[in-house]
Structure formats: structure tokens, C-alpha cells
Amino acid sequence: MTNTFTMRSWDEKVVSGPEDGPRYAHAHATFTYSGLIEGDSACDYLLYYPGEGYSGSAQTAPGFERIEGSVDGRKGGFVIRHEVAYGADGVHGTFTVVEGSGTGELAGITGSGTIAGASETMSYTFDHRL
């Protein structure tokens, strides 16, 4: 089974700092999942941009995402917390299920996973327990 998610929307706004200097932004995104997770989600990230001339490593962004749909055919929803790195080589990161966030048939879900990709459709892994 191939596990992927596709970005449906991305709305990013600078919160503080100049466009060409160190700044941080808020991004609200929506995704559609297929594979182990089937459903749709809404996600919010805080992004940091170092400004012109920075040549260090990829930046990281924390985020929270609420997924509604199913996992292994069990319906409900849950929240994951992201720690995502992004840069010229794409996006990669880890996520964990927020304890107590599962609803419906997903009440009590726990787990963690990874994301990776360089386009609007990326792959994920998800190790979970219900």
C-alpha cells in the first residue's frame, strides 16, 4: 500500500519581520490522505525564515494537524503534532499523535510517523495502536 498525502491549499502570512530579513510566518494548509489514513485535514505551521544570505541547514517548523477520516477502516479523527524540516531539498519530518485527541472509532489512538517529499504529494509512514 502506498501512503501519500496531497496539499489542497496553502495560505501563508508573515507574522513578524521584514520580507528580506529574519522573520516568522503562519501557514494554514489543507491536505487529503490516502493509504493507511483515508481522509482530509487542516494544519497550522509556524515557519521561520532567516533572511537573505543565510547558508545554514534546513529550517524547522512545528505544527498541529487535525485529520478526519479513517485509519485501517476505523472512522473518526485525531490530532498530530509535527516537527518538519524544509529547505531546497524538500520537506521531511516526524509527527506524533496528541494524547487524548482521538474521536469516534479512533478514540485512544497513539502513534508516530514520518513525512517526506519535494512536491505537492508526499509520502508518509504511520505506526499506531488503537
How many whole angstroms separate alpha carbon 37 and alpha carbon 66?
12
Say which amino acid occupies 127. D
The residue written with cell numbers 501557514 in the block is: 27
Taking only the tens place, the pLDDT of each residue in 41-50 is: 999 999 988 8
Q: What's the topology of domain 4-129?
A: AOC barrel-like (2.40.350)
| Across 78-89, average pLDDT | 91
Residue 89: C-alpha distances to residues 92, 107, 118 (Å): 9, 36, 7
Judge contact between 63 and 81, C-beta under 8 A: yes
Q: What is the pLDDT of residue 58?
A: 67
pTM here?
0.91
- Domain positions in the chain: 4-129
